[in-house]
Structure 1
């Protein structure tokens, strides 16, 4: 069921982005009276799952979910239709249109993606608002288990207060600024400590494989006791807070994991908080140093117990436009920093480059419209930025040659454009294979 939920969100988001991106090319092409021969969601290699001709355009769904396309007559693209290009130019063909019209057609897809992302951020701000956690309210700081962070000098209990020269006040800001970070400042036991990060910090994180960086520290709240547990008959209930064992106060679950290793196969006396009263119960520790009790993750309860403060900001419809613009800008700048790091070999960030599985993995295994729309907005920006890269097989490559034509007044020859398209296609295939190969490698090694 979890797979079905994740793949449904992935395909729905991908389909929405592809259709709207291609619509961004389709609409200006039609406005400029340019013939569009095909409009496809996914690629129709050899055959289509569905197709129907309406007017001069065949609309269809391919079987290969690696993207989509519109085939515009008289345009040198991935179809490499040399037979059509060998014929005399027709007034309804792409190559016959003025350069400025061709430029608008080529920029239409990324323009729609940028607009879509902004619109999503506006309505998400209005409907859902912003929920975050103040770092200075984190009781006990962060739990640090990632080996790369530990090797860099971070410790459990640290609170991140700055990244480079950027003060950090909210938990969500860490993810925004950690890309390209050279220094991080933490508060540790009331003192400030600056930690210098290695130049290949992002590469090390990718090699380590864990997505867990700075995690919240939770109390041990009982959710349930499985039938296989030796504590099944003990009087403990859902919502009980286990405060400590053998007279030792343990405020956080991570402290239990360490302490219980000293009592393997033994019975321990535990203090439990229930309905404001402190009770004592005898709990059995198995040979692995576990109580075999499922813990409850309840943000509202953690807030009530004082482990952190959740802040919520709601926006009026008018305020949502500014909030959406701020989120759009932040995401765009952050993704730009990621690309810059990826193209810098010294950071080794290219090791973290992922393909379709990496995109699939960012969707939650439960259905959340809030998460779906926010992830779709991010992917829309990602799709737009990647398409603007000056690679001939992408929109950015076509834009690059059109700008050259507009500035110089000289149009590159069709033979040159055909060769550039082939080179760009192989570059693009190499990037796709590398990204998806990274996914496969990580799946096999982690």
Structure 2
């Protein structure tokens, strides 16, 4: 329950930031062009609001339905406009009195602000934390794969040479390249093998209930942590012990240790370990689970084996990186969206509502992950708002661009009908996604 609460709070905080920044983009540009903003609300407030206060011409408030937010701009869509818009001359502080280009900028303000937020967050993160990458050439022992990786044709010890016939310089980028790619070229014990990534194979990667790394660098079996009162603890295994063999069977890598232990449930085994250069042997009695009770070191804990590239960025260097990273994330999201329309990949199963978004946040608060996800959601929100659907920013942008090309104003009654239809379409999609998310929890 605690993890659910922490994830929910992170999501709510992240979404609140995105909503405020998005609406602030509209608000500031409206103010620049001297257009009145009547309401500025975080969350929706049908019937009543949790808080509201009028400052100048604007009522600021917080609604009670935490699913979004809005601003109301004077003269953009009003009852009085519908009644006598053809008769009344627009006041100079109304949206409809402004030129097409000014209206276009006001409507685009939310998208612009979300793009800028994503750039600023990624720039700040790289400035604060720098960048750590594992060059592909330094993955000395090949890869370790889980069941998903095996289903697409990979095996433990494979060395990945190319994805889509292109060399991927950093191992960090290989899983993403495989998910979005069409082929993999590997070196399997000196034999070059080409694996195709058909939609049928990709469904194994997309058709997952929980996120997991289907490939990672293969590592020696070095103990990172011994669980208290476990079998390993009882028989004197320690942190940093390297397991060399089990019953005279040499163990070179972590995946081999897991496979070997599974064969000796409810049996006595002899474990040879390297402890600070000293060879030690232990007789261990395994229980019916065959679990020792140890956590092995990950490749990130093995600086002496894997040579990482670490780079710190100056303020001047961080901003171009932020721009590059923002549009890389957007490209990846668009590539994923393309896979959604390929039914065979089952990528549609990864679509979700706020419930799925909450699962992306960690169980414990981590500012680095929080801001990374917030920046990712920000550029995704900007992209979605570009869709030319009435009631989204993209719908208004489309109408204004049509007006600019035809030199004629679109009838407000038509705008109103299109906006209602667009709102109904979006509401229907949101409800269906929510139902799908609930279905996944209980039946998938």
Instruction: Give TM-score scaled by structure 2 length.
Output: 0.91
1:302 corresponding residue in structure 2: 302
2:317 corresponding residue in structure 1: 319
Shift of 1:106: 0.6
C-alpha offsets along residues 56-85 of structure 1, whole Å, 9 cap, x if unaligned?
211111222211111112223xxxx54553
SS at match of 2:127: helix
Separation in structure 1 between the aligned mates of residue 71 and residue 217 of structure 2, nearest angstrom: 47
Aligned length: 437
C-alpha offsets along residues 156-212 of structure 1, whole Å, 9 cap, x if unaligned?
222333221332121221244345421122232233322111135544433343422
Q: Which runs of 5+ in 1 are unaligned?
A: none
1:94 corresponding residue in structure 2: 95
Separation in structure 1 between the aligned mates of residue 161 and residue 211 of structure 2, nearest angstrom: 21
Q: Do the aligned partners of residues 179 and 398 (structure 1) sit closer, same or farther apart at CA in structure 2, a change above 3 Å counting?
A: farther
Q: Do the aligned partners of residues 157 and 24 (structure 1) sit closer, same or farther apart at CA in structure 2, a change above 3 Å counting?
A: same
Q: Do the aligned partners of residues 166 and 361 (structure 1) sit closer, same or farther apart at CA in structure 2, a change above 3 Å counting?
A: farther
Separation in structure 2 between the aligned mates of residue 145 and residue 424 of structure 1, nearest angstrom: 43
1:52 corresponding residue in structure 2: 53
Shift of 1:245: 0.9
1:400 corresponding residue in structure 2: 398
Separation in structure 1 between the aligned mates of residue 299 and residue 152 of structure 2, nearest angstrom: 30
SS at match of 2:280: strand
1:279 corresponding residue in structure 2: 280
Backbone CA RMSD of aligned residues: 2.3
2:197 corresponding residue in structure 1: 197
| 2:350 counterpart of 1:349 | no
Separation in structure 1 between the aligned mates of residue 429 and residue 179 of structure 2, nearest angstrom: 21
Q: Do the aligned partners of residues 65 and 154 (structure 1) sit closer, same or farther apart at CA in structure 2, a change above 3 Å counting?
A: same
Q: Which runs of 5+ in 2 are unaligned?
A: none
1:265 corresponding residue in structure 2: 266
Q: Do the aligned partners of residues 125 and 82 (structure 1) sit closer, same or farther apart at CA in structure 2, a change above 3 Å counting?
A: same
C-alpha offsets along residues 314-334 of structure 1, whole Å, 9 cap, x if unaligned?
122222233223212322222
> Which shows bigger deviation, 83-92 or 122-131?
83-92
Q: Do the aligned partners of residues 194 and 445 (structure 1) sit closer, same or farther apart at CA in structure 2, a change above 3 Å counting?
A: farther
Contact 2:152 2:204 in 1 (8 A): no
2:25 corresponding residue in structure 1: 24
| 2:69 counterpart of 1:68 | yes
Shift of 1:270: 0.5
SS at match of 2:287: coil
> Which shows bigger deviation, 419-428 or 210-219?
210-219
C-alpha offsets along residues 370-421 of structure 1, whole Å, 9 cap, x if unaligned?
2222222111110100110111121011101110000111222112111111
Shift of 1:346: 6.0
Contact 1:203 1:352 in 2 (8 A): no
1:437 corresponding residue in structure 2: 435
1:176-255 equivalent positions in 2, closer than 5 A: 176-212=176-212, 213-218=214-219, 219-227=221-229, 229-255=230-256
1:15 corresponding residue in structure 2: 16
Q: Do the aligned partners of residues 340 and 261 (structure 1) sit closer, same or farther apart at CA in structure 2, a change above 3 Å counting?
A: closer
| 2:82 counterpart of 1:85 | yes
Separation in structure 2 between the aligned mates of residue 295 and residue 348 of structure 1, nearest angstrom: 33
Instruction: Give TM-score scaled by structure 1 length.
Output: 0.90
Separation in structure 2 between the aligned mates of residue 333 and residue 300 of structure 1, nearest angstrom: 27
Separation in structure 2 between the aligned mates of residue 139 and residue 422 of structure 1, nearest angstrom: 59
Q: Do the aligned partners of residues 175 and 429 (structure 1) sit closer, same or farther apart at CA in structure 2, a change above 3 Å counting?
A: farther
2:159 corresponding residue in structure 1: 159
SS at match of 1:167: coil
Contact 1:267 1:282 in 2 (8 A): yes
